Amino acid sequence: MQSAIESPARKRSAFPPVFWVANIIEILERFAYYGIYFGFGIYMTHLGYSRDQLGIVQSLFLLLSYAVPLISGTFADRYGFKKVLIVSYLAYLPSILLLMFTKSFSGIALTMLSIGLAAGIFKPLIAGTVRVTTDTTNKTFGFGIFYAMINVGGSFGPIVAGKLRAISWNYAFMAAAVAIGLMMLITIFFYKEPPREATGESLGKKFRDIGVALSDKKFVIFLILLGVFFWLPFWAFFNLCALYVDTNLDTARLYQDVRAVFGQGFADFFSQNDKEGTRRILGETISHTGYIIMLLQLGVSRVFERMRALPSFMVGLVVAAIGLVVIGLARGGAPALVFLGIFLFAIGEMITSPRIQEYITWIAPKEKAGLYMGSNFLAVMIGGVSSGLVYTSLYGRCNDAGAPERVWFVMAAHCLLAVAAFWIFVRVAGEFREQQA
């Protein structure tokens, strides 16, 4: 049996310029995407919609966001990453601007579906670029950088959008649209198609390849397990945390706690005065993991780069479960516990998410990186769709019963059950063999 520790074979290779250009694009896209998404539950509540309606929109949005990459990855392999990136921007920009003009439930749902389509076209392209510009000496570190850049954008997007929505929600949507415009300019002028082996295959052959990949029962079971046991509670955290903080925690006390530890200037950065003039922490500015991950991801990647992917993944699930329990305890105890809970969940995310993305893409031959990354999004889609239907509705019922914290305890149990599920999978089916080049 292979040892859990692997020794690096040779000196780490340098990354080419397109690797860094792609990561800059990723920062801007995550700025726009999460700037809208993290505050979306607050936005729909502000418009008077129910949590069941919110769950429907979240599920449909995530369904399209993660179903489309199954196709867009094959188009990228066939026609090139750069061309498909530009197509995604042409779908993204008008969709975001439409949010400024529609307030009906059907209009919001259709607009978010359009944004989901654009995001789905985009999603496998930067990860695919990272895959084809890394090798066995720098793949873990490269995906760690990629994941850190996701979280640079994912941190500043909600902060900027939160400050702007306190003035007008339209300003928040406009900021996201500006980010998409910058992405288009950078792609046109600076993104150089990364070299990779040309397959010369028809698009029909690419679609048949998806069928071949999904005909592998072991791979399909693995994707389903990822969707049900990892991505479901993962997306539930992002669906609910901002709304939970804004609705169920004493955000005025949170502001005082942050000011006491870090000073008024720092606290003001994450807060805004309410209508009565009370300074409160804005839920979406803290209710995510990006600001932690962008600081610690590279260090965590270095710690775990010598350990095999699946054992690392299971360790991360346990840490994430502890974080979810602490978030739930923040309501009955000190509200500031939510920071510790988010921090622990972020550590778990830093261990799990980039390693599982790396693992999936390194199962693939290099010329099929987009295809396999697209197949990975099937698992993300399963979890995303289920999270809106299951946990957003469960949170609504728990909140109506006066115990919203219970949803976090259920999610923690879900993560611990995931550890058992993946352990059984490895014992019964074994791990996949990663490509060496």
- Predicted confidence at residue 9, as pLDDT, reads 47
More confident residue, 202 or 75: 75
User: What are the DSSP calls for 271-312, one per residue?
Assistant: EEE-TTS-EEE-HHHHSSSHHHHHHHHHHHHHHHTTB-HHHH
pLDDT, tens digit, for every residue of 29-69?
999 998 888 888 889 988 888 888 888 888 888 888 878 87
pLDDT, tens digit, for every residue of 286-328?
888 877 877 887 788 788 877 887 888 999 999 999 999 999 9
Distance from the Cα of residue 299 to its chain's centroid: 19
Cα distance between residue 36 and residue 172, in whole Å: 8
Percent of the chain with pLDDT over 70: 89
- Predicted confidence at residue 1, as pLDDT, reads 35
Phi first, then psi: give them for residue 92, nearest 5 degrees.
Answer: -70, -50
Does residue 280 carry a pLDDT above 70? yes
- Predicted confidence at residue 5, as pLDDT, reads 40
Does residue 164 carry a pLDDT above 70? yes
- Predicted confidence at residue 237, as pLDDT, reads 95
Cβ density class 134-170: b for 16+ within 10 Å, e for less: bebebbbbbbbbbbbbbbbbbbbbbbbbbbbbbeebe
> CA gyration radius for the chain?
21
Structure tokens that stand for 26 in this block: 């990723």
More confident residue, 368 or 135: 135
Using DSSP's 3-state secondary structure scheme, residue 2 falls into coil
Please, what are the domains in the chain?
A: 17-192+200-429 (1.20.1250.20)
Cα distance between residue 21 and residue 394, in whole Å: 41
pTM score of the predicted model: 0.80
Which of 17-26, 146-155, 377-386 is the most confident on average?
Answer: 17-26
* Dihedral class, residue 195 (left if φ above 0, else alpha if ψ from -120 to 50, else beta): beta
